Structure 1
Amino acid sequence: MDSTKKRAAYGRIQTQLKSLLAKSPDAEARMASVVALLHHKMSHFFWTGFYGLREGRLVVKMYQGPIACMELQKDTGVCWAAINGGKTVVVPDVELFPGHIACDSRSKSEICVPLRDASGAVIAVLDIDSDVPGNFDEVDAEELEKILALVHEA
Structure 2
Amino acid sequence: MFATINYSDIPQERYTQLNKQLEALITGEKNRIANLSNASALLNHFLDRINWVGFYLMEDGELCLGPFQGLPACIRIPLGKGVCGTSAERRETLVVEDVNAFPGHIACDAASQSEIVIPLVKDGEVIGVLDIDSPELNRFSEDDRKGLESFVEILMQHL
Report the TM-score, using the length of structure 1 for normalisation.
0.91
Q: Which runs of 5+ in 1 are unaligned?
A: none
- The SS at the match of 1:148 is helix
Tell me, yes or no, if structure 1 residue 151 matches structure 2 residue 155: yes
- The SS at the match of 2:155 is coil
CA distance in 2, matches of 1:123, 1:61: 11
- The SS at the match of 2:156 is coil
- Choose from 57, 61, 69 the match for 2:62: 57
Query: Given that residues 99 and 105 in structure 2 are in contact (C-alpha distance below 8 angstroms), is that contact kept between their aligned partners in structure 1?
Result: yes
CA distance in 2, matches of 1:7, 1:75: 31
Q: Provide the residue aligned with 1:68 in structure 2.
A: 73
- Choose from 17, 21, 43 the match for 1:16: 21
Moved over 3 A (4+): none
Cα deviation, residue 105, structure 1: 0.4
* Residue deviations 1:41-82 (CA, integer Å, cap 9, x gap): 111221000011101121100000111111124421100111
Query: Given that residues 27 and 152 in structure 1 are in contact (C-alpha distance below 8 angstroms), is that contact kept between their aligned partners in structure 2?
Result: no
Q: Provide the residue aligned with 2:104 in structure 1.
A: 99
Paired residues for 1:54-133 under 5 Å: 54-117=59-122, 119-133=123-137
Q: Which runs of 5+ in 2 are unaligned?
A: 1-8
Report the TM-score, using the length of structure 2 for normalisation.
0.88
Cα deviation, residue 12, structure 1: 1.4
Write the letter of the residue equivalent to 2:126. V
- The SS at the match of 1:100 is coil
Query: Given that residues 120 and 156 in structure 2 are in contact (C-alpha distance below 8 angstroms), is that contact kept between their aligned partners in structure 1?
Result: no
Q: Answer with 99-108 or 26-35: which moved more.
A: 26-35
Residues matched between the structures, number:
150
- The SS at the match of 2:112 is coil
* Residue deviations 1:6-47 (CA, integer Å, cap 9, x gap): 323222111111111114022222111111000111112210
Question: Could you tell me the percent identity over the aligned residues?
Answer: 37
